[in-house]
Structure formats: structure tokens, C-alpha cells
Amino acid sequence: MIKELKSPLRVVLENYGRINPESIEEYIAQDGYEAVGKVLREMRPEQVLSEIKASGLQGRGGAAFPTGLKWEFTAKAKDAPKYIICNADEGEPGTFKDRAILEGDPHKIIEGMIIAGYAVGAHYGYIYIRGEYLLSINRFNKALKQAREHRFLGEDVFGSGFNFQIEIHQGAGSYVCGEETALMESLEGKRGNPRFKPPFPPSSGLWGKPTLINNVETLANIAPIILKGSDWFRTFGTKKCPGTKVYAISGHVKEAGLIEAPMGITLREIIIDYAQGMRDSKFKMAQVGGTAGAILGEDMLDVPLDYASLGEKGLVLGSGAILVMDETTCALDMLECFLNFFKRESCGKCIPCRVGTEKLLELATAISRGEGKEDDIDLMLHTAKVMQKTSLCALGQSLILPISTTLKYSREEVTEHIKGRCPTGVCKI
Amino acid sequence: MKLRNKEKDVIALLNKAQRENKHNYITEDKLKLTAQEAGLSYSEVYGVATFYSLFSLKPRGEYVIQVCDSGPCHLMGSKSIFKVLEKELKIKVGETTADGRFTLEEVSCLGICNEAPAMMINEKVCGNLTPQKIREILRELRKKK
């Protein structure tokens, strides 16, 4: 059980820690599967689509694409069969929200997938769960079995004539498989190399068929929206980014854990009100959105953490991971750690990313050992910019963000290493 | 209504092959057999097996210790966790102890960042690690037959 920090608001996590996740009866007692019943008995697929569109829900995996629009594109695709995929390959460092949802409330995801299937005209669903999440896989397996026994899955659900099946695919360790097209390659039993886009999944996805792929947290929002309506959903969050967000807090805070809060909460509020403040030392910086996310300094403590507000500043909310770092942290040491991660996880398909991640790590390592040159900093920036423009997928493209924002706040600190001194004493020079 | 052919799912087949091997790896014979079962060439199956980090083509210890060194764990001291493990097991990252009991590996985020630093031993996750806690865990594992 992941520690859940005091969250007054519950949409996605409404059942988390409150019901036995292995009991479908307890889920049903919380209005579980009511949304599926409502959709199948009272609504036409177009009505479901317009409700989701009206809610303004955006993809919670990090890209923030309007969910309703994605559903509509898939619904309009002519080819058949169509597929639904739940992306549960949560690999972004610092993120553990999808694991919590899967472990704590698996039926909510099944419900979201059935509704998505009905809305876009798909009868097959896959959930791709990363291989490291064994408890999630076991819980989901049990939930699927129960849902089949209760005939929420299978043929003629709720006597509506609608058929829907879900199968689990277990990952085998690969960060890049969280990228939607890489995930589909992997699901097809191949190496998880991303594909060229377009075509996009709604027209050509799994086995070349129209595919709707949504993140776990996105799907967890579906049943509540259907039951309580899009107007209710819009009472949370901001106008541009309605709803709540599950943020995952880690690092130098008193209390690490998960919170569900309205979109647009600030970093200061999260650290002070939820995480009970800094643990030992003063705040230095935070990385928001995972390892591919930006470093935010003290001047950003009051920026609303939603897709639009951060997007305006060229930053990202990503998965909602927040890694808080205090003054004892060496910015360069962390950057080296981020680059080591990217180097290890680059799939090797495209040259900019395969070579670039390697070179960037070499440069950062040289600097951290006191062997760097003054030009190396600009060379890192230049390399990351080229990668941003030429890499095939987000892995190579997004690396510029942690590098440029680290340098924005800590360029002097990095330069000190070149002169032979690590200001925090973390790096051994 | 039938989904894809499970009997031909390479990743699931490889997973099973590795789980059934007591040295936690996929043998060359199994790779060849998997290729046959899945109706693929040996090179295709080899490509898949070497892509994913949870698969190994080298024999490993009875206990595979995978320590996370991604951002949150790194920040919370994973380097010292590696040091303790290397000292206690007398091996480096990527190696297996001479008695074939332990293998030490570095992995990407395990998704328990609220308990950083963390590691996984076979299928069990351990968080909030300290040098003392690691020594205790190793003592328990060494007692087991």
C-alpha cells in the first residue's frame, strides 16, 4: 500500500485504500459497474463520446491530448477490428500513480476500458502492464476473472448485445515501451522500437488496425464522468485543464507519497500542505514530470502545475511525478543520473538518440570528474537540441528539457566542476 | 471471440522459459525452441530476448538483486546501497557470486519512489533501504536453502 497523503478530493482515488481491491462485491457496493450499465442501457456511442469531449479530460500519461478527440478519431475509423489498449507501462522515474490505481482499484480500469470499447466500437482490449509490477498483474488478473464471472466482460454485457474482452500483456523491462507505438510493437511480440508517425494509432495501431490507447489514470476518470456528468468534472481544476491530477511526490520531503489534487495546484502547496515540508535542508529545486521533465527552481514554486500553465512556459507536467531536492543535492550529479537513465533506455533504432545519449553521458561524466572543458556545456546543449529535432520519439526529443533547465538554474555550479570543485561535495573530483 | 494467439506470444514464452530455469536465464536451447513454437526465426527471437532488460541469456544467481538507480533512488542514496551490496557479496554490478546464489544488477525505476532507495529481489520489492536493512535481508536469504 502506497502512503496516500491527506487528499481532500477524490475522483481517481475514490476507492483507493477504502475497499478491498480483490473484492468485486465491495467495488459494486461503491456504485461499481453502474457506469457501464448506464452507458449500455441508456446511451448511444455518440452520446458517450460527446460526454467525454464535454468533460475536457486530457490524457494523463503526460502528453495531455484531449481524450474525447482521440476517442472520436478511433470511432470514425472505418477499418475493423478495433482495439482498446490501456497503457500501464509506467516507467517514468518518480511515477507510481498507475501502480496505485491498478493495485487499489483495478475494476475502475476495467470499467473505463469497457466504456471506451463501446464508444469507439471495439470488442477487444489489452492492458499492457510492465513486468516489474507483479502485484498489479495479479490483482488485475483476479479482477478480470471476477468481471467475467459477473458477465461484465464477455458476450452480451448487460443484455445489450455488446461484447467485450480484455487480456493482460506483461512487459519485460523497457522504458521506451511506454511510448504508444513502441508498446504496440511489443504487444505484437517484437522488440519495442517506436514507429514513425503518422499514421497515428486511431487510424493504424495494433496490427495496423484502429487502436485507442489511453493511460491508466485517464481511464480511471471515465466511470466518474459518466456517472456524475461532465459539468461536475469541470468543477475541479482549471478551465483549460479540468479535473484532478494524481501527483507522485518523492525526494527530500518529510512525507513522500501520492496526492490527488485539482489541476493547477502549485509546487509550494504540494510541498508544504501535503508533503509536510522539506525534510532536513532548504529547497533547491524540483524535477516535475519525471526524468524527461524540467527542473523548477524557487521562482517556480507558485506556478500552477497543470498542462496549460506549464506548457506556456515551455515546460511539461508529464506524468505528474515530482522529485523534490534540497540544498545538499548536486545539480550535475543528478543530471548525470538522468543521462545514464536515457542512455540505458534508448532503444537504438534512430541514430540521434542512440549516439546522442551516449555522448551526453560521456560529457556529463567528464565534467563531474573535473575533466570537462568550458565548451562542453554548450556542446551538451547543442547535442540535445539536434536530438530534439531529429529523434524518432519522445525519448530523444525530450532530453533537452532536463539539460536546459538544469543549466538555467545551475550553470555556475556545473562550471565550478570544470574548474575542479563540486560546490556540494557530492562529486569526487 | 478470441484475442491473439497466446501460444505464439514470444515475450510470454520467454518469460516462462526464464522463470522455469533455476539459474534465472534463457538457455540457447530454449531460444531455439521458442523460435519454433512462435513460428519465427532464431534471430528474431534473439532480438526480442536481448531487447528487454528483465531477460538474461547468461546464467544468474538463485537470487537476482536489482537495485534502482533512477532519479529518486539516486537522490536518496542508491550509490551507497550498491557499495554495501558489492562489499557484502564481494561482486561488482553485473556479476554473480561464486556459489551461484546472488547476482547484482542495476535497473531503471521500479515505481516505488516513495520508498527510495529501493531494490527488487527476484519478485519481491524492498524499499526504504539502509545498509543495516540490506545486511539483514542478505542474512535471511543466506539462511534459506
* pLDDT at residue B6 tops 90: no
Q: For residue A126, what is the nearest residue in chain B, using CA coordinates?
A: B3
3-state secondary structure of A295: strand
Which of A176, A198, A233 terminates a domain? The answer is A233
Is B57 inside any structural domain? no
For A275, nearest residue in chain B (alpha carbons)? B114
Instruction: Residue A161: give its domain's CATH number.
Output: 3.40.50.11540
What are residue A129's DSSP bridge partners? A88, A170
Q: How many residues does chain B have?
A: 145
Instruction: Give the Cα separation of A229 and A120 in Å (integer).
Output: 19
| Distance of residue A333 Cα from the nearest chain B Cα, in angstroms | 9
From A29's Cα to the closest Cα of chain B, the distance in A is: 30
Residue B1: the pLDDT is 41
With CA atoms as reference, the chain A residue closest to B74 would be A337
Do the strands B63-68 and A283-288 form a parallel or antiparallel pair, or are they unpaired? unpaired
Segments forming the whole domain that contains residue B13: 5-51
Does any domain span residue B58? no
Chain B residue closest to A341 (CA)? B70
Q: Which of A96, A186, A279 to mutate to test the interface with B (most CBs of B within 10 A)?
A: A96
pLDDT in tens, A41-89: 999 999 999 999 999 999 999 999 999 999 999 999 999 999 999 999 9
Per-residue pLDDT of chain A (429 residues; tens, 9 = 90+): 677 777 667 999 999 999 999 999 999 999 999 999 999 999 999 999 999 999 999 999 999 999 999 999 999 999 999 999 999 999 999 999 999 999 999 999 999 999 999 999 999 999 999 999 999 999 999 999 999 999 999 999 999 999 999 999 999 999 999 999 999 999 999 999 999 999 999 999 999 999 999 999 999 999 999 999 999 999 999 999 999 999 999 999 999 999 999 999 999 999 999 999 999 999 999 999 999 999 999 999 999 999 999 999 999 999 999 999 999 999 999 999 999 999 999 999 999 999 999 999 999 999 999 999 999 999 999 999 999 999 999 999 999 999 999 999 999 999 999 999 999 999 998
Tell me: do A343 and A265 sit in the same domain. Answer: no
Chain B residues close to A165, C-beta within 8 Å = 1, 3
**Based on the domain organization, do B115 and B72 belong to the same domain?**
yes
Residue B4 in this model has a pLDDT that exceeds 70 = no
Let me know if residue B56 belongs to a domain: no
Same domain, A298 and A342: no
Q: State the smallest CA–CA distance between residue A296 and chain B in angstroms.
A: 15
- Chosen domain end from A287, A302, A326: A326
Same domain, B43 and B80: no
Say yes or no: B112 contacts chain A, CB-CB below 8 A: yes
CA distance A152 to B119: 37
Give the per-residue pLDDT at B7: 64
What is each CA distance from A262 to A265, A299, A377, B54, in whole angstroms?
Answer: 6, 21, 38, 37
Check whether residue A317 and residue A341 sit in a common domain.
no
**A164 and A119 within one domain:** yes
Q: Which domain holds residue A394?
A: 331-418
Mean pLDDT of chain A: 96
- Is the Cβ pair A173, B47 closer than 8 Å? no
ipTM of the complex: 0.95
* Same domain (yes/no): A371, A412: yes
A301 and A266 in a common domain: yes
As given in the structure block, the three cell numbers for residue B113 are: 519512489
Tell me A307's DSSP state: H
CB contact under 8 A, B113 and A325: no
Would the CB atoms of A170 and B11 count as touching at under 8 Å? yes
State the pLDDT at residue B2. Answer: 45
Helix H or strand E segment including B104: strand B102-107
B69 contacts A323? CB cut-off 8 A: no
pTM of the model: 0.96
| Same-domain status, B39 and B75 | no
Inter-chain residue contact B70 with A189, CB threshold 8 Å: no
Beta-carbon contacts of A271 under 8 Å, excluding residues fewer than 6 positions away, are: A249, A253, A277, A278, A283, A286, A301, A324
Domain edge (last residue) among A201, A233, A265: A233
Same domain, B75 and B42: no
